[in-house]
Chains A and B, each alone.
Chain A
Amino acid sequence: MSLSGEVALFLRGARMQRRVIGALVVREMHTRFGRHYLGYAWLFFEPLLLGTCIGFIHLLRDQAAVFGPFEFYAVAYVVFFVFRGIINRASTAIPSNIGLLYHRTITLPDIFFARHIIETVSCIGVLVVLLFALFAVNGDLPENPTKVGLAMIGMALLSQGIALMAAALTAAVEGIERGVHAMTYLILPVCGMFFLVDWLPESFQELALYIPTVHIFELLRDGQFGSRIRAHYDLGYVAAWIMVTHLIGLAALRITRQRIGLE
């Protein structure tokens, strides 16, 4: 096949995939929230409520922090919500959508991409609402909104890679999804949401920086507070994690696809 032929084929495939993912997004939105406006509102309220609660708990606990604990924890919690939301839903994606595979245009990754887009876009919406609320209350805006947005996207992509792997693993080993759920809670104290690397003793700093989410939270705080803190992160390290998890996840899903129906 000539090069232009291959390009044309690729473009046609890309257009079809975009159409399919778009259709899946609409379907998933309608299914998850019903066709009621209140349903869509929940999409925003759920993480907003949780983020606000966490913010308040810390507000009561440590009044004397350098910056508002509310903006330190609540904003980070919304970013963590992307991680938790995407990974916790990974195990149900295939079993609850098996009928879709009768439609040849739909591939397994499409189903995941569609769900992750919803999860990410809703959390970005919540983040924007929260940041504006903080601005209204105490006049603080993030020093570098691009970095805040980049942290959100980075978290979504990393979560997506892990979710693809988790879904393939759940399909292969029955009952392991409970372990995946537990993991999203167990990682909470070390994921970087509750601390800055700079606060840690030097020996722990190096260890903490092995965890990819720590880099993402550092990037988030750099975007929020910039000159007021010293952030430690390496975007190349995060990108490597994203790429490796995607490669393993997509390859494992290919195997999963071949084995569907064995049960």
Chain B
Amino acid sequence: MSLELIDVHKSYPIRGGRKDILRGAYGRIARGEKVGILGRNGSGKSTLVRILGGVEAPSRGRIRSSMTLSWPIGMMAGFQPQLSGADNARFIARIYGRNTEPTVESVADFSELGEYLRMPLMTYSSGMRSRLALAVSLAVDFDCYLVDEALAVGDTRFGRAFAEKIERSGLILVSHSPALVRRLCTRAAVLDQGILTFYDDLDEALATYNAL
């Protein structure tokens, strides 16, 4: 099982032409690998996440995947503000074919939202929202987890549960933080000026990134 990028191009129309975000990216990420993708601000990290996440299609080339990849962890992908946290969790459980009540229980346990779990999402503080989003992401099993940007979980209960989860499956971490990539990944790629370069050696990738 793996995820392969085959000559992936992405460009957007801008005033007076097109802006290239990706110019022919190649790469292969096998099941169980923990790969970091490093990029400076504005290098196209979010675009890459949307392409890997399957929301946007590449302009050219393709992504061939034989493993299940999560939605970006912690993102409220398709969550409805009018619905309660529990109802949103039930929805995610249903579309991934999981039983709803065990999912809600696990979300209640990890999010520590208490009574708020039955309240509409729009009444949540941003901290509560991110706790809910993380807890829901954790309740579904994937072959590989996609993580966008700094996941400031550290040595929290969620952080430990998440570490355990990615230990058993894989991770694609898209970030601008070399420290985070060093902590969580075994291999890394650097995205710079539309070119995505994979390095087998983590130190080499970090050195290249720091020299940018």
Contacts and interface: CB of A to CB of B under 8 A. Distances in A.
A261 B59 CA distance: 11
Interface string B6-49: 00000011000000000000000000000000000000000000
A31 B94 contact: no
B76 interface: yes
Given A99-B76, A99-B77, A261-B50, A105 B96 contact: yes
A12 to B, nearest CB: 11
Q: Is the interface of A mostly helix, strand, loop or mixed?
A: helix
Contacts of B1: none
B83 A102 contact: no
Given A16-B97, A262-B12, A102 B57 contact: no
A58 B54 CA distance: 53
Q: Chain A: interface residue count, which band?
A: 20 to 34
Interface string A244-263: 00000000000001111110
B91 to A, nearest CB: 5
B53 A105 contact: no
Interface in A71-119: 97-106
Contacts of B71: 102-103
Among B56, B57, B75, B95, which residue has the most Cβ atoms of chain A within 10 A?
A: B95
A226 interface: no
Interface of A: 16, 19-20, 22-24, 26-27, 30-31, 34-35, 97-106, 257-262
Given A16-B97, A262-B13, 11 more contacts: A20-B94, A26-B94, A27-B83, A27-B87, A30-B82, A99-B79, A103-B78, A103-B92, A258-B57, A259-B57, A261-B55
